[in-house]
Amino acid sequence: MPVAQPRNTAPLPSPLPAQGPAPRLATGGEDPVFSPVHALQQELLPLAQPASAQREPLYPLWLRIGIIGGSSAFAWALIIWSLLQLR
Protein backbone atom coordinates (compact mmCIF):
# COMPACT_ATOMS: atom_id res chain seq x y z
CA MET A 1 0.00 0.00 0.00
CA PRO A 2 1.56 3.32 -0.98
CA VAL A 3 2.21 5.92 1.68
CA ALA A 4 0.38 9.23 1.25
CA GLN A 5 2.72 12.13 0.55
CA PRO A 6 2.11 15.61 1.97
CA ARG A 7 0.52 18.01 -0.51
CA ASN A 8 2.63 21.01 0.41
CA THR A 9 6.26 20.21 -0.26
CA ALA A 10 7.55 23.76 0.15
CA PRO A 11 10.56 23.95 2.48
CA LEU A 12 9.97 25.26 5.97
CA PRO A 13 11.22 28.79 6.63
CA SER A 14 14.46 29.00 8.56
CA PRO A 15 14.15 30.28 12.14
CA LEU A 16 14.93 33.92 12.71
CA PRO A 17 18.20 34.68 14.49
CA ALA A 18 17.76 35.27 18.21
CA GLN A 19 17.44 38.91 19.13
CA GLY A 20 18.23 39.93 22.69
CA PRO A 21 19.06 37.57 25.52
CA ALA A 22 18.49 33.88 24.90
CA PRO A 23 17.83 31.19 27.50
CA ARG A 24 20.87 29.26 28.66
CA LEU A 25 21.83 26.77 31.31
CA ALA A 26 22.84 28.23 34.66
CA THR A 27 26.09 27.23 36.31
CA GLY A 28 26.63 26.76 40.04
CA GLY A 29 28.77 29.87 40.47
CA GLU A 30 26.08 32.39 39.50
CA ASP A 31 23.96 34.38 41.90
CA PRO A 32 20.24 33.60 41.88
CA VAL A 33 18.00 36.12 40.19
CA PHE A 34 15.37 37.85 42.35
CA SER A 35 11.89 36.88 41.33
CA PRO A 36 8.60 37.81 43.00
CA VAL A 37 7.40 34.28 42.32
CA HIS A 38 10.36 32.79 44.17
CA ALA A 39 9.88 35.22 47.04
CA LEU A 40 6.22 34.23 47.34
CA GLN A 41 7.19 30.57 47.20
CA GLN A 42 9.64 31.06 50.07
CA GLU A 43 6.90 32.77 52.12
CA LEU A 44 4.39 29.99 51.47
CA LEU A 45 6.83 27.11 52.04
CA PRO A 46 6.38 27.02 55.85
CA LEU A 47 2.60 26.74 55.39
CA ALA A 48 2.98 23.69 53.16
CA GLN A 49 5.15 21.80 55.64
CA PRO A 50 3.29 19.50 58.01
CA ALA A 51 2.41 20.94 61.40
CA SER A 52 3.67 19.48 64.61
CA ALA A 53 2.63 16.00 65.63
CA GLN A 54 -0.11 17.28 67.96
CA ARG A 55 -3.60 16.59 66.73
CA GLU A 56 -6.94 17.27 68.28
CA PRO A 57 -8.13 14.29 70.29
CA LEU A 58 -10.90 12.34 68.62
CA TYR A 59 -13.97 10.94 70.26
CA PRO A 60 -13.63 7.27 71.26
CA LEU A 61 -14.11 4.76 68.47
CA TRP A 62 -17.06 3.05 70.16
CA LEU A 63 -18.90 6.39 70.33
CA ARG A 64 -18.24 7.29 66.71
CA ILE A 65 -19.37 3.86 65.46
CA GLY A 66 -22.32 3.87 67.86
CA ILE A 67 -23.58 7.21 66.57
CA ILE A 68 -23.32 6.04 62.96
CA GLY A 69 -24.95 2.68 63.69
CA GLY A 70 -27.65 4.20 65.86
CA SER A 71 -28.59 6.85 63.35
CA SER A 72 -28.66 4.26 60.58
CA ALA A 73 -30.91 1.97 62.63
CA PHE A 74 -33.20 4.90 63.46
CA ALA A 75 -33.41 5.88 59.78
CA TRP A 76 -34.30 2.33 58.71
CA ALA A 77 -36.88 2.05 61.48
CA LEU A 78 -38.43 5.31 60.34
CA ILE A 79 -38.52 4.13 56.72
CA ILE A 80 -40.10 0.79 57.63
CA TRP A 81 -42.63 2.46 59.96
CA SER A 82 -43.54 4.95 57.21
CA LEU A 83 -44.05 2.15 54.69
CA LEU A 84 -46.26 0.25 57.13
CA GLN A 85 -48.36 3.36 57.73
CA LEU A 86 -49.02 3.73 54.00
CA ARG A 87 -50.58 0.26 53.76
Written as one string, the DSSP assignment of the chain is -PPPPPS--PPPPPPPPP-S----PPPTTSPPPP-HHHHHHHHHHHHHS---S--PPPPPHHHHHHHHHHHHHHHHHHHHHHHHHH-
User: What is this structure's pTM?
Assistant: 0.38
**Digit-coded pLDDT (tens) for 63-78:** 999 999 999 999 999 9
Q: What is the pLDDT of residue 48?
A: 79
8 A C-beta contact, residue 63 and residue 69: no
Question: What CA–CA distance (Å, rounded) separates 78 from 58?
Answer: 30
**Digit-coded pLDDT (tens) for 1-27:** 677 776 777 777 777 776 777 777 777
